[in-house]
Amino acid sequence: MSRSRLNIKSGDQVYVRSGKERGKKGKVITTYPRESKVKVEGVNIIKKHAKPTQKVKQGGIREKEAPIHVSRVVLVCPSCSQPTRVSREKEVNGLQVRACKKCGGTIDK
């Protein structure tokens, strides 16, 4: 199984562009590169039924975020604040950085 490279990292601001959550913005909590999925704050909320345990005495229904496919989200550029695709550019010191396709600004600091 080959590792896929995601253009989105944890902590990035993303815009959901398809599905029932279309139009929402949120921060990426976790990435799952092998499954090509990301978990976004406040998006794709599921209900989880939980029994009482010794740690959590109160059982019940809990809500939490579930992962969504990375193709359903697009990165929001921090400099121009618009949803954009990502390109990779080399810097002077030889490192690759992510860049905005719309404004050309770097996303990684």
The pLDDT value given to residue 91: 81
Q: In whole angstroms, give the CA distance from residue 14 to residue 93.
A: 28
The pLDDT value given to residue 16: 96
CATH of span 1-48+62-76: 2.30.30.30
Q: In whole angstroms, give the CA distance from residue 72 to residue 38.
A: 10
Taking the chain (109 residues) in consecutive chunks of 10 residues, what is each chunk's mean pLDDT?
76 94 95 95 95 92 95 93 90 86 85
Which residue is it, tokens 């400099």? 79
Query: Beta strands of 1-91 (E only): which ranges?
Result: 13-16, 25-32, 37-40, 45-50, 60-65, 68-69, 73-76, 83-84, 86-90
The pLDDT value given to residue 1: 46
Structure tokens at 67: 């992962």
The pLDDT value given to residue 4: 67
Instruction: Tell me the domain boundaries of the chain.
Output: 1-48+62-76, 77-109
The pLDDT value given to residue 3: 60
The pLDDT value given to residue 90: 87
Q: In whole angstroms, give the CA distance from residue 70 to residue 92.
A: 30
The pLDDT value given to residue 2: 52
